[in-house]
Amino acid sequence: MNEQKQNQIIAQINNDFPLLSLKERLSFIGAEFSAPIFTTSLGIEDQAISWAIANSAKSIKIATLQTGRLFSESLELIEKTKNHFNIDIAQYQPDAKQLQDYIEQYSLNGFYDSKQARLACCYVRKIAPLKRALKGADAWITGLRGEQSNNRSAILFAQFDNEHDLVKLNPLADISLDELKQIIADNKIPINPLHEKNYPSIGCEPCTRAIKLGENERAGRWWWENDQKKECGLHFSANEQQTISEQQS
């Protein structure tokens, strides 16, 4: 797809998606891009997207980052989702040598000691595998929603991602948590049982806790860090990741 066509599609998506259902959004993406990929973390956002793909856009590849530190409930949900929707979910794992180097430098749970160590762990277990997953893709679908945190409030449906050289698509950008829960309930979509135990956002087990009444949806992620930007770096550019590291060091 040439740049002009790409820009036209991005503009069309940002203009038209508010009028489309979730299934229609995924169907449009499946028809317009030649190698789209959806990376799922198995949260309720991503389960809704897997449902939409299974029902209207089976050509879209689905992948997940198997960090090696996931909750057993999340691992079980990968298999349950595959069987429930009759879809494949490719699993991308950390490179063994990079992981060994990380553990030697910081220790297995060194991510509790500094933001730098935490970002290094997220790089080895998530970002490097993500780069492998996105290789060859022309569009990357995520489950980001605008209301999830202050840091995500300006999310567009579509924009060019210079970092990964593809179009990044956020088909849930305007969906509220209540709307999302309705989609899950109406369509009997399987979700992680941890959500019922006050885990609205679920990542790796050692880095996720239940939230308390009144806390932000993502307050349980890396809760020991005194930082408004509760992100693993998957949705930051290389410059932003570097800036965060420098601020914390």
Q: Footprint of ligand SF4 on this chain (CB under 6 A)?
A: 67, 69, 111, 118, 121-122, 125-126, 203-204, 206-207, 232
Question: What residues are labeled active site?
Answer: 232
* Closest distance to ligand SF4 from the beta carbon of 141 (Å): 21
Residue number, nearest CB to ligand SF4: 204
* Closest distance to ligand SF4 from the beta carbon of 115 (Å): 10
Give the H/E segment covering residue 129.
helix 128-134
CB 246 within 8 A of CB 116: no
* Closest distance to ligand SF4 from the beta carbon of 65 (Å): 9
Give the H/E segment covering residue 49.
helix 44-56
Q: Whose Cβ is closer to ligand SF4: residue 126's or residue 152's?
A: 126
Take residue 135 and report the two structure tokens written for it.
């290789």
* Closest distance to ligand SF4 from the beta carbon of 229 (Å): 14
Strand-pairing partners, residue 39, are 63
CB atoms < 10 A from the CB of 160, how many?
14
Question: For residues 53 and 179, what is the distance between their CA atoms, to the nearest angstrom?
Answer: 18
Buried b (16+ CB within 10 A) or exposed e, 185-219: eeeebbbbebbeeebbbbbbeebbeebeeeebbbb
Q: Whose Cβ is closer to ligand SF4: residue 18's or residue 206's?
A: 206
CB atoms < 10 A from the CB of 153, how many?
10
Helices 115-122 and 96-106: angle between axes, nearest 10 degrees? 170
